[in-house]
Amino acid sequence: MARIFVGAAAALVTIMVGGWAVATTGEPDRTAQLAEYRRPNAIPFPEDNPYAAQKAELGRALFFEPILSRDGDRTCATCHVPGQDWTDSTPLAPRNDGGFMDVRTPTLLNIAWIEDILGWDGKFRGLEAVARTPLTAPGNMNMPPEEMVRRLSADPAYVEAFAGAFPEPVAGGNPITQERIEQALATFQRLIVSGEAPFDRWVEGDARAVSGAARRGFDLFHGKANCAACHSGWNFTDGSFHDIGVAKDGNVGRGRFFPGSTALRFAFKTPTLRNVARRPPYMHDGSLATLAEVVELYDRGGIDRPSRSRDIRPLRLSEREKADLIAFLETLSDAGSAEAATLPITATPPRP
């Protein structure tokens, strides 16, 4: 999908800033590595669903709208909880019949940067296309699309909101369509961006923003522990799929769609590490309860099998190194206000 970066065209150009060498005399020069993590200052929006304030506001209303579930008992926020970093705290997402799905609810933080292939196993094509699944799935919101359009159309406030958000006239005259519901939801979700964390202040030149342990943890992350091989860039993900040796149940992840591929068997999407310390449990199956357990898994090298990524191997970290790695991960959390987290980066409409 073609993408445009709204706002400054130079948004993603990294600029090096000096300064922390002063506060960290005797430590390695990390200028080049840190520059790889500089925050962008604009949110990317696709050309076929550009940003508009009214559309985003409509999407916000729909995200929290219970009438979009057949029984009126669920919204997107039932599982993607704003105050819990847009995920929930359960290992597996709750079905509407008291049971559980086979995967955990992923966070929606920085979803605008994970545009093309979404879902733990990559089952979704583009952010607009995702909503249809939770909305219609019988075990989730269980809403037939026609019924959804009918319910919204019965509310004059929604008719007006859709007409304002999508000014182009439609055949038949009803401004509410399933496609527009999906576009509005996606526009709102692209505004869900993690706020500035202590790590970002370090990247901007203030070495005192993080502890010495965290700075050593960063060196491990980038060096001996090899985490940056997959958790790369400011959002700490390569947007790709790997077997890190975690899944032991029947879920083969991305391998479902590529049965002939060894590398994609048990491969799941690399999650962002933004705010990660605050949103346990971890992994696609919620199988690890703490960051300490995550670090132990990587230290062991996970399950050794043909599909396991070549970037995963036993690390043999010392106890101090494990603690340093966790100290580093903790510096990736923002101040934690759900409201602030939705709009820390200015989205401006594209120039005509």
Residues at the interface with ligand HEC (CB under 6 A): 74, 76, 78-80, 93-94, 101, 103, 105-106, 108, 111, 114, 118-121, 123, 127, 130-131, 134-135, 140-141, 185, 189, 225-227, 229-231, 242, 244, 246-247, 268, 270-271, 273, 276, 282-284, 291, 294, 298, 309, 311-312, 325
For the bound state, the minimum distance from the C-beta of residue 104 to ligand HEC, rounded and expressed in Å, comes to 6
User: Could you tell me the two tokens for 109?
Assistant: 């933080």
For the bound state, the minimum distance from the C-beta of residue 339 to ligand HEC, rounded and expressed in Å, comes to 18
For the bound state, the minimum distance from the C-beta of residue 158 to ligand HEC, rounded and expressed in Å, comes to 15
Cβ atoms 152, 67 nearer than 8 A: yes
Amino acid of residue 6: V
Residue showing tokens 């997402």: 93
44 or 134, CB closer to ligand HEC? Answer: 134
309 or 331, CB closer to ligand HEC? Answer: 309
For the bound state, the minimum distance from the C-beta of residue 255 to ligand HEC, rounded and expressed in Å, comes to 12
193 or 225, CB closer to ligand HEC? Answer: 225
201 or 300, CB closer to ligand HEC? Answer: 300
207 or 326, CB closer to ligand HEC? Answer: 326
For the bound state, the minimum distance from the C-beta of residue 130 to ligand HEC, rounded and expressed in Å, comes to 4
52 or 325, CB closer to ligand HEC? Answer: 325
For the bound state, the minimum distance from the C-beta of residue 16 to ligand HEC, rounded and expressed in Å, comes to 25
Residue 117 β-bridge partners: 125
Q: Residue 314: name the closest of 237, 215, 244 by CA.
A: 244
19 or 71, CB closer to ligand HEC? Answer: 71
For the bound state, the minimum distance from the C-beta of residue 169 to ligand HEC, rounded and expressed in Å, comes to 26
Concatenate the DSSP letters of all residues of 190-235 into one string.
TT------HHHHHHTT-GGGS-HHHHHHHHHHHTTT-GGGTS-TTT
What lies within 8 Å, CB to CB, of 139 at 6+ separation is 95, 96, 97, 99, 101
Q: Residue 182: name the closest of 137, 133, 139, 109 by CA.
A: 133
* Element housing 128 (H / E): helix 127-130
For the bound state, the minimum distance from the C-beta of residue 196 to ligand HEC, rounded and expressed in Å, comes to 20
122 or 175, CB closer to ligand HEC? Answer: 122
Residue 321 φ/ψ, nearest 5 degrees: -65, -40
Concatenate the DSSP letters of all residues of 291-339 into one string.
HHHHHHHHHHTS---TTS-TT-------HHHHHHHHHHHHTT-----HH
Q: Residue 108: name the closest of 60, 162, 158 by CA.
A: 60
